[in-house]
Structure 1
Amino acid sequence: MSQIETLLQQENWRFWDQSLSGKSRSALESFAADDLLCHLVGQGQSPATIRTWVHTNTVVLGIQDHRLPFVDDAQNFLRTQGFAPIVRNSGGLAVVLDDGVLNVSIVLSENKQSIDISTGYEVMLEFVKLLFPEAEGKIEAYEIVGSYCPGSYDLSIGGKKFAGISQRRLRQGIAVQVYLCVEGSGSERADLIRQFYEIGVQGEETKFSYPIIKPKVMASLNELLHTNFTVEDIVIRIQQVLQHLSTNVVTQSVTQDEMELYQFYMQRVVDRNKKMLTK
């Protein structure tokens, strides 16, 4: 059995679904939740965990995004379009979250075995493939030039990106995070980010090379697979896949015993975000 198969076929999985409850909350809470889970899983206080989460009309910025020459103008543009900008604590650049985008975090422990960065990405790639058997042989992982938040593990079908993967490592825990554009228009989301960068750069020379967004290279899964999936449909699939991967799946949100630690990470994320956004 390969390391990727071993990491997916855990003896125990914890499942925490925030695909409905998270919509009315700031996405900052999700990054605090993943930090909490990294701590708990990495320190052996929780089994490996999969968390699903959805947030309404948010643009999650990367560290480089807040260094845009006209970042205030760019953020104000997002607000006029009804999107709240925040800065995340993992790598990458700006991505769009809305009701049609499902985020999935797989949180694993490095306590007993080392998990390199590429293995973390491959675990998520394999999990996404398990979720979509109708796309068998079609999902590829390579950088889609012209997409937002481009990277070597952009997930695409027919050259059009529908997902991107990032990682967060803390206290021997690893959170591998993917956003899945399930519903709606991928190109419309990309066009929002195209305008964000145009307003943020305004022709100025920058040390960092920001992506030139080409909206047509991005699409949703429904557009690519000619399906009518809802985010809720995919959450159900995740639960079904977990049942095949493990004989013991426990559905559990944050417990009372974990709440104090969660509040600690929440405050840290909020303080960091405030500092970033105020430059």
Structure 2
Amino acid sequence: MELVVDLPAHDAAAELDRGLTLLREVAQGTRPATLRLYRPSSTVAFGQRDARLPGYDRAREASLAHGFQPLIRRAGGRAAAYHSGCIVVDHVEPARDGVAGTRRRFAAFGDFFAGVLTGIGADAGVGEVPGEYCAGEFSVHGRRDRVPTLKLVGTAQRVVAGAWLFSSVLVVERSASLRSVLTEVYAALDIPWRPATAGAVEDLVPGVGVDDVEAALLAAYRTAVQLRTSESSGVP
């Protein structure tokens, strides 16, 4: 599996498109299975359903006012926010029938990321936190006193003929700014949620940073697959 660690592009749309380009290349057989990591620009990624709501224009304006670029993504559910205190993991593999394994991948990747976070000291598990943003059955959460409290990882998939892309956002640092922008975005969209559920790994493991989580991720991957490192690159 090829490892790609992209340098900051400061262009949220290009960052998202890069993942879809990798998906097409793997599907066409011009690229091997690929693991891509990057630290994203400040972005609010809206779901396609969000864009049809009456409050969408106000939600876009709220995103911009907080310094987050609003985008409509092709995969995933409701609005999610992320920034350079997060890690995006795009895992792309060829497959004859990518649709057949969709639910299995959600479960397997959820367990994988929960294991990585547990390894660095967080009490992490898989499952929706009541009231979380962009709610998902296989969200990875952090627990306080054994109670699921904070959403830490959101996941989404895209499948095309010949390949699948599993994309995950791990929130590591600076959850306060994410809560702030999401509070205004969800109010504009008139979608109820509980802002206290938007957390970061450092909220449970003080002092942990993006470098620590990235190192733990790569170490966990290397126990499962052989990674061939390519040169880091900016998003074309």
Q: Structure 1 length as normaliser, TM-score?
A: 0.74
Aligned residue for 1:198, secondary structure, equals helix
Query: What residue in structure 2 maps to residue 72 of structure 1?
Result: 57
1:195 and 2:184 are equivalent in the alignment = yes
Decide whether aligned partners of structure 1 residues 16 and 129 sit closer, same or farther in structure 2, where only a CA change above 3 A counts.
same
Deviation at 1:106, TM superposition (A): 1.2
Residue deviations 1:55-96, cap 9 Å, x none? 222111110111121322221122111111111111211111
Aligned sequence identity (%)? 21
Structure 2: gaps (5+ residues):
none
- 2:97 and 2:161 in contact (8 A); partners too: no
Query: What residue in structure 1 maps to residue 195 of structure 2?
Result: 215
Deviation at 1:152, TM superposition (A): 0.6
Q: How does 1:95-106 map to 2 (within 5 A)?
A: 95-106=80-91
1:251 and 2:216 are equivalent in the alignment = no
Indicate the structure (1 or 2) with the bigger Cα radius of gyration. 1
Query: What residue in structure 1 maps to residue 13 of structure 2?
Result: 28
Residue deviations 1:181-234, cap 9 Å, x none? 10122x542342121122234xxxxxxxx3x1211122111112x232221222
Q: 1:161 aligns with which of 151, 155, 168?
A: 151
Query: What residue in structure 2 maps to residue 239 of structure 1?
Result: 218
Deviation at 1:29, TM superposition (A): 1.8
1:181 and 2:171 are equivalent in the alignment = yes
Residue deviations 1:19-51, cap 9 Å, x none? xx23x4322223222222222223333222111
Q: Return 107-116 or 52-61, whichever deviates more.
A: 107-116
Decide whether aligned partners of structure 1 residues 81 and 219 sit closer, same or farther in structure 2, where only a CA change above 3 A counts.
same
Query: What residue in structure 2 maps to residue 84 of structure 1?
Result: 69
- 1:167 and 1:175 in contact (8 A); partners too: yes
Which amino acid in the other structure matches residue 170 of structure 2?
Answer: L
Q: 2:5 aligns with which of 17, 20, 30?
A: 17
Deviation at 1:16, TM superposition (A): 0.7
Q: How does 1:99-114 map to 2 (within 5 A)?
A: 99-111=84-96
- 2:35 and 2:91 in contact (8 A); partners too: yes
Which amino acid in the other structure matches residue 245 of structure 1?
Answer: A
RMSD value, Cα:
2.6
- 2:43 and 2:70 in contact (8 A); partners too: yes
C-alpha distance in 1 between matches for 2:151 and 2:114? 14
Deviation at 1:115, TM superposition (A): 4.4
Structure 1: gaps (5+ residues):
1-12, 202-209, 256-261, 264-279
Aligned residue for 2:112, secondary structure, equals helix
Deviation at 1:135, TM superposition (A): 6.2
- 2:156 and 2:168 in contact (8 A); partners too: yes
How many matched pairs?
A: 230
Quick check: which one's strand share is greater? 2
C-alpha distance in 1 between matches for 2:99 and 2:194? 37
- 1:54 and 1:102 in contact (8 A); partners too: yes
Q: Structure 2 length as normaliser, TM-score?
A: 0.86
Aligned residue for 2:91, secondary structure, equals strand
